[in-house]
């Protein structure tokens, strides 16, 4: 298949630059403040910014191209660089929790300033003692831009160019972009508008109405909530009959869009494995097969959230890691033709345009993919040898283990996103290795690019494996890949500087955590306690290496059965189901049945043409209401902070 390179255009223009600057300036402080108030920093900025600038452009007689819209949508919400992690570290070092567990004096210099530093009394991120921790984050983040790009390009060649996976969620987002820019036929816009009204109405009830009542009528937020997020918890009601089972109904409307996008057989596989693990498996582990050393892991009246966390930690973590890491490698091994083509691209400097269905990698396969990935591996090894050389000398195999796991994790996550739109986080593998090797305290705080640990998470370099979701959107909208990289390089420094500025402003207003910032006051101690339990080694039996191998063998067995019997079993869908809680699985199933009904009622041709527009419209309306809700929350917080 031959591509026409002239169809691909840059989305980085004056108009898209203006839109991203607006999004960063408005939503970076909103995201930081929201995380301090509620513990969550999602503000729905992407859809809001895209809708605003598309309509402003239309009123001004400016036609927004699909490439500009793609850049706006991808970067308006993706550049919210949050340096609040530095404030958490500062608090953690001086916290009574770290002192009680006996680790406060063992926390290394690269994590945070010493507990005796006067930077804390001054509450200043510009203090010299913050220079080293801050520069480590910034430097690794910028290296991560190129490493992530390399992984994205490698995954693009495997899963988009060669295997042509569907990328259902990227397809939905791209359809929204095309409908708002180029495919502006009246009926499509009406479908988009009606669908957006559904998202607006639901978002108003869930995100706007509670804050509106709080501001206007003085009703406490908890009493003003009409629909609890993220789910109706049914675990307590069924605990008598199914002890250990995680049950509920998701109230996040975006979960009900999956059935509009995914094929029904994928949904069934996700639902089946989710219920087998979190309902049947948990129930059996309570009544018959309790995890070794944790017979009392379950007790009555646990919430669905607590029960899910405990069951993953004590029962399913090792199995999930083994199964998920196999997802990327096993299907690839079964396709030697793909491996052969990749090898040819590595050894050749140029790829022929007429042999491709997607854009070639800017700079070629070697320079644009392989070299950045190798830089990532070298950076990992350097960080281990520089920060914790004694531990590495005692466990030299980690120098091979972590790059290998990063490779498997990248393949697995990109394949799952490509097939189902759902990804699995296997960062627990870091905790597993630290735990099993009885790692000293400094190891837990070591910046290891591409991974997060229980003590070092939420940093911009947690994940270096890139995102083919955005690459697929760029391909559908004919946006040059090079414009994605240039946009990242331009706006990453701006986002970092604004994040530093607003983080300092919020810290100057009041100590963090404090009563002024209740989200941090509630969730930071919980996170700190959880971290210290791991680091101090007060618990045993969290991980079982044998279960990791069992998970990998199970994935191999299922893939073999599927290959021999021609039964369409997707181990990517099964891996997604292992991390999908039943409340969301139920939502997927309901939406799948609803999609089947609408397909019959409206007709197959109509449904196939407009189903992505319907899902995109609901997401658009919901994103706008989330942004409005955040604005009201900020107003409420400002009013409540006044002395009258």
Whole-number Å distance between alpha carbons of 201 and 193: 12
Position 580 scores a pLDDT of 87
Position 446 scores a pLDDT of 86
Position 391 scores a pLDDT of 92
Position 39 scores a pLDDT of 60
Position 271 scores a pLDDT of 94
Position 183 scores a pLDDT of 64
Name the one residue in this structure whose structure tokens are 């009258």: 644
Position 453 scores a pLDDT of 67
Position 426 scores a pLDDT of 63
Q: Which two three-digit tokens encode residue 618? A: 């609901």
Burial of residue 475, with CB atoms counted within 10 A of its CB: 0-12 exposed, 13-18 middle, 19 or more buried = buried
Name the one residue in this structure whose structure tokens are 């990804």: 423
Cβ contacts of 396 within 8 Å, gap of 6 or more = none
Whole-number Å distance between alpha carbons of 259 and 352: 38
Burial of residue 496, with CB atoms counted within 10 A of its CB: 0-12 exposed, 13-18 middle, 19 or more buried = buried
Whole-number Å distance between alpha carbons of 221 and 211: 7
Burial of residue 486, with CB atoms counted within 10 A of its CB: 0-12 exposed, 13-18 middle, 19 or more buried = middle
CA angle 576, 579, 582 (to 5 degrees): 100
ω into residue 230 within 30 of 0, thus cis? yes
User: What phi, psi does 447 have (nearest 5°)?
Assistant: -70, 110
Name the one residue in this structure whose structure tokens are 């010299």: 128
- 249 DSSP β-pair partners: 232
What does 412-471 look like in DSSP terms, one character per residue? HHHHHHHHTS-----THHHHHHHHHTT--HHHHT---TT---SSS-S-TTS--S--HHHH
Helix intervals (H) in 239-370: 258-261, 264-275, 282-287, 304-311, 317-333, 336-347, 364-365
Reported as type and span, the H/E element at residue 155 is: helix 131-155
Written in H, E and C, the secondary structure of 534-550 is HHCCCCCCCCCHHHHHH
- Asked if 391 contacts 443 with a C-beta cutoff of 8 angstroms, the reply is yes
Position 382 scores a pLDDT of 92
Full domain range(s) for residue 83: 5-640
- Asked if 150 contacts 361 with a C-beta cutoff of 8 angstroms, the reply is no
Q: Which two three-digit tokens encode residue 287? A: 């009544």
Position 644 scores a pLDDT of 43
- Asked if 345 contacts 365 with a C-beta cutoff of 8 angstroms, the reply is yes
Looking at the 3D structure of the chain, how many domains does it have?
1
Position 642 scores a pLDDT of 46
For the chain, residues with pLDDT lower than 50 are 349, 351, 353, 642-644
CA angle 309, 311, 315 (to 5 degrees): 130
Whole-number Å distance between alpha carbons of 598 and 602: 6
């Amino acid at each position: 298949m031959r591509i026409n390179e002239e169809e691909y255009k840059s989305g980085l223009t004056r108009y898209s630059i203006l839109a991203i600057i607006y999004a960063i300036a408005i939503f970076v402080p909103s995201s930081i403040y929201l995380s301090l108030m509620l513990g969550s920093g999602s503000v729905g900025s992407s859809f809001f910014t895209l809708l605003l600038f598309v309509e402003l452009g239309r009123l001004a007689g400016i036609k927004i191209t699909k490439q500009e819209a793609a850049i706006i949508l991808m970067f308006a919400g993706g550049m919210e660089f949050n340096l609040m992690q530095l404030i958490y570290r500062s608090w953690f070092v001086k916290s009574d929790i770290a002192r009680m567990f006996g680790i406060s004096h063992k926390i290394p210099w690269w994590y945070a300033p010493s507990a005796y530093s006067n930077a804390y009394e001054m509450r200043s991120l510009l203090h010299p003692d913050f220079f080293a921790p801050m520069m480590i984050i910034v430097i690794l983040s910028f290296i991560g831009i190129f490493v992530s790009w390399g992984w994205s390009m490698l995954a693009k060649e495997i899963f988009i160019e060669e295997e042509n996976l569907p990328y259902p969620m990227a397809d939905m987002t791209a359809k929204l972009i095309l409908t708002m820019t180029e495919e502006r036929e009246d009926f499509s816009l009406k479908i988009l508008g009606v669908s957006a009204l559904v998202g607006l109405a639901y978002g108003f009830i869930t995100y706007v109405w509670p804050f509106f009542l709080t501001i206007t009528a003085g009703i406490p937020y908890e009493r003003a909530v009409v629909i609890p997020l993220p789910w109706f918890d049914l675990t307590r009601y069924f605990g008598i009959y199914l002890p250990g089972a995680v049950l509920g109904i998701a109230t996040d409307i975006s979960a009900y869009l999956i059935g509009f996008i995914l094929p029904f057989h994928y949904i069934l596989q996700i639902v089946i494995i989710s219920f087998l693990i979190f309902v049947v498996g948990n129930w059996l582990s309570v009544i018959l097969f309790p995890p070794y050393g944790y017979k009392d892991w379950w007790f009555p009246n646990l919430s669905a959230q607590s029960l899910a966390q405990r069951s993953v930690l004590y029962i399913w973590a090792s199995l999930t890691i083994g199964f998920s890491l196999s997802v990327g490698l096993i299907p690839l091994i079964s396709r030697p033709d793909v491996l052969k083509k990749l090898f040819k691209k590595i050894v050749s400097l140029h790829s022929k345009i007429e042999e491709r269905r997607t854009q070639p990698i800017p700079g070629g396969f070697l320079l644009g993919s392989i070299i950045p990935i190798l830089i990532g591996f070298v950076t990992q090894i350097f960080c281990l040898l520089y920060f914790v050389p004694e531990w590495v000398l005692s466990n030299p195999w980690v120098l091979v283990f972590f790059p290998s796991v990063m490779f498997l994790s990248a393949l697995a996550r990109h394949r799952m996103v490509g097939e189902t739109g759902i990804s699995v986080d296997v960062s627990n593998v870091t905790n597993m290795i630290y735990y099993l090797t009885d790692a000293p305290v400094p190891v837990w705080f070591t910046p290891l690019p591409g991974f997060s640990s229980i003590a070092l998470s939420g940093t911009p370099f947690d994940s270096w494996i890139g995102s083919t979701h955005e690459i697929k959107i760029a391909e559908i909208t004919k946006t040059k890949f090079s414009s994605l990289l240039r946009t990242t390089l331009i706006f990453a420094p701006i986002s970092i500087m604004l994040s530093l500025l607003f983080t300092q402003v919020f810290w100057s207003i009041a100590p963090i955590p404090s009563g002024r910032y209740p989200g941090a006051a509630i969730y930071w101690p919980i996170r700190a306690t959880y971290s210290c339990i791991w680091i101090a080694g007060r618990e045993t039996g969290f991980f079982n290496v044998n279960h990791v191998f069992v998970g990998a063998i199970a994935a191999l067995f299922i893939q073999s059965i599927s290959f021999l019997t021609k039964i369409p079993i997707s181990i990517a869908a099964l891996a997604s189901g292992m991390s999908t809680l039943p409340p969301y699985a139920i939502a997927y199933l309901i939406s799948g049945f609803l999609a089947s009904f609408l397909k019959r009622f409206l007709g197959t041709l109509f449904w196939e043409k407009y189903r992505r527009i319907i899902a995109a419209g609901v997401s658009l309306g919901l994103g706008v209401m989330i942004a409005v809700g955040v604005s009201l929350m900020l107003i409420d917080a400002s009013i409540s902070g006044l002395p009258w």
